[in-house]
Amino acid sequence: MTVPTDLRRCLVCGGAGEEHTRLDGNLRRCPSCTFAWTAHPLPPTTELYDESYFTGDGYEDYYLPRPRRYESARRLRWLQHTTRTHQPTTLIEAGSAGGYFIKAAQHAGITAHGIEISAHAARHARDHLGVPVHHGHFETFTPPHRVDAVCAFHVLEHVENPRQFLHAAHRMLNPRGWLALEVPNIASAAATRLGTNWPGLQFRYHRWHFTPDSLLRLVTTTGYDVVTCDTAVFRYYMPAGYRLRHARRLVPPDWLDTRSLRLTQPRLGDLLRLVARVREPRRERS
Ligand SMILES: [Zn+2]
């Protein structure tokens, strides 16, 4: 695995990164393309994602069935809606964690497999949900067949090299295959307002911090055409009943940040999502 050691240069455009004056010196940012990254080097991914990461010591409980099922169903609906002209029948999810999205995709008739860096999470997916999740590095994985879609939800900010990751996805995809990504949006209104308290930063785990512009640039320079890119607030993944019961706590900050009650936003929400397609090779002129 190639680990980019030069944390002074921007991985997206090659520009020189500047130290960010806020966020306690934890961030460097490229002034030309808005991409940002954690200023200090992180351990290899193989060391970061042990059992404790997935069971709450990291920052979330990845094995709680109800919220994970809800989140997976929403993501699948979004994917199916966005790809409705040519819906995927085969899919690989990178960083499939507890396997809930794979389960939802299978339930919808899609042949879905997961690749997961954590042996613990891969085992959970196989033993508790009975879904095919391989333990290993996505970047070096060779699937037996190419697939119609590669999904990576909250993975790109963790990987050692996002460019290498997107090239690997490209190799696994059929011509005009779909790439679906979700990452935290450091350009969100909440990130700007909350500074180091914004939950999307996670300097212990997140190497890379995307804005809509830098994510678009990275994806378009690795062989894809972007179909859609928007954002969602954290409330988007909370079930309707929960949103209603906790409305007094949840709604005012979102209103303050986005001046809207909508769960999705063009650019200001906490979570940045994108669907792209493998670019068609240019036809040679005869
Ligand atoms: Zn840059």
How many angstroms does the Cα of residue 124 sit away from the middle of ligand 1? 38
Strands (E) across 95-190 are located at: 111-116, 133-135, 147-153, 173-184
Residues with CB under 5 A from ligand 1 (ion): 10, 12-13, 15, 30, 32-33, 35
Over residues 102-145, the pLDDT tens digits come to: 999 999 999 999 999 999 999 999 999 999 999 999 999 999 99
Tell me if 4 is assigned to some domain: no
Please check whether residue 137 is in contact with residue 158, taking contact to mean a CB–CB distance below 8 angstroms: no
Chain centre distance of CA 283:
32
How many angstroms does the Cα of residue 213 sit away from the middle of ligand 1? 10
Over residues 214-234, the pLDDT tens digits come to: 999 999 999 999 999 999 999
Question: How buried is 86 (Cβ within 10 angstroms: 0-12 exposed, 13-18 middle, 19+ buried)?
Answer: exposed
Tell me if 15 is assigned to some domain: no
CB neighbourhood size of 130 (10 A): 11
* Predicted confidence (pLDDT) at residue 284 exceeds the cutoff of 70: no
Over residues 177-205, the pLDDT tens digits come to: 999 999 999 999 999 999 999 999 999 99
pLDDT computed for residue 60 by the predictor? 60
Number of domains in the chain: 1
Residue recorded with tokens 């996805």: 169
Tell me if 12 is assigned to some domain: no
Please check whether residue 184 is in contact with residue 158, taking contact to mean a CB–CB distance below 8 angstroms: no
Over residues 6-59, the pLDDT tens digits come to: 788 899 998 887 877 678 889 999 989 999 999 988 988 888 877 777 666 555
The pLDDT > 70 percentage for the chain reads 93
How many angstroms does the Cα of residue 227 sit away from the middle of ligand 1? 22
How many angstroms does the Cα of residue 36 sit away from the middle of ligand 1? 8
CA quadruple 231, 237, 241, 245: dihedral positive or negative?
negative
How many angstroms does the Cα of residue 224 sit away from the middle of ligand 1? 18
How many angstroms does the Cα of residue 164 sit away from the middle of ligand 1? 16
How many angstroms does the Cα of residue 16 sit away from the middle of ligand 1? 7
pTM, whole model, 2 decimals? 0.92
CATH of the domain at 214: 3.40.50.150
Tell me if 196 is assigned to some domain: yes
How many angstroms does the Cα of residue 95 sit away from the middle of ligand 1? 26
Please give the residue range of the domain that contains residue 52. Answer: 22-278
Tell me if 66 is assigned to some domain: yes
How many angstroms does the Cα of residue 20 sit away from the middle of ligand 1? 14
Tell me if 191 is assigned to some domain: yes
pLDDT computed for residue 211 by the predictor? 97
Please check whether residue 261 is in contact with residue 233, taking contact to mean a CB–CB distance below 8 angstroms: no
How many angstroms does the Cα of residue 34 sit away from the middle of ligand 1? 6
How many angstroms does the Cα of residue 122 sit away from the middle of ligand 1? 34
**Alpha carbons 62 and 54: distance in angstroms, whole number:** 5
- Fill in the DSSP letter of residue 55: B
Please check whether residue 12 is in contact with residue 32, taking contact to mean a CB–CB distance below 8 angstroms: no
Tell me if 5 is assigned to some domain: no
Tell me if 143 is assigned to some domain: yes
pLDDT computed for residue 285 by the predictor? 63
